[in-house]
Amino acid sequence: MTFNKKEAADKFDNFLMIMDDQLAHLKEEAEKHNIILDGSLSDIEKLEELFDVMSEGCNTDEKNGLIVYFARHLGEIVKSNYGGKWVIQLNDEKNINFNEPVIVDHCPIEGLEFAPISTMRAYSLRKKKGTLRRAIEADINPHIIDLNHLIEE
């Protein structure tokens, strides 16, 4: 099966087109569990809590749907608090985020991508509290690692 760039771009357009409805619905679902989402940075821990509640007892397909559903809100938190925009990388098949919606232009490092879907997937697998905040912090304030000591002289 060959990759169809037009279909991928159309799917991304749909991802963006239904964004507002999905965000509104997630806020309504959160309120049913006495969790108020307002788009602020305080939503990060609330998303983990809500995901735990909503994913309990879900099968793999349902959980994968929830991951994308929650990733929209996670990406919007980054975008609204740090700037940036949603994009999809379709030109470089070697890019780890190839064909996945990401946020770019959210930090001073050009080309750095925040991958909300991958971040939510990581949380769903381990359910380690603080995963979402650590992922955002690492993207917003990346630390340069000096690997020069590993190079043999």
Q: What is the pLDDT of residues 90-128, one digit of tens each?
A: 999 999 999 999 999 999 888 899 999 999 999 999 999
Residues of the chain with pLDDT under 50: none
- Contact between 117 and 101 under an 8 Å Cβ cutoff? The reply is yes
> pLDDT at position 148, please?
79
- Of 143, 134, 146, 142, which is closest to residue 45 (Cα–Cα)? 134
Q: Which two tokens stand for residue 50?
A: 């809500």
Residues 43, 80: Cα–Cα separation, whole Å: 12
CA distance 139 to 78: 10
Tell me the C-alpha to C-alpha distance, in Å, between residue 33 and each of 36, 38, 52, 128. 9, 15, 11, 20
Residue type present at position 86: W
**pTM of the entire predicted model:** 0.90
CB 74 within 8 A of CB 101: no
The pLDDT of residue 144 is 75
Residue 153 is predicted with a pLDDT of: 53
Closest CA to 22 of 62, 61, 69: 69
Per-residue model confidence (pLDDT) at position 62: 96
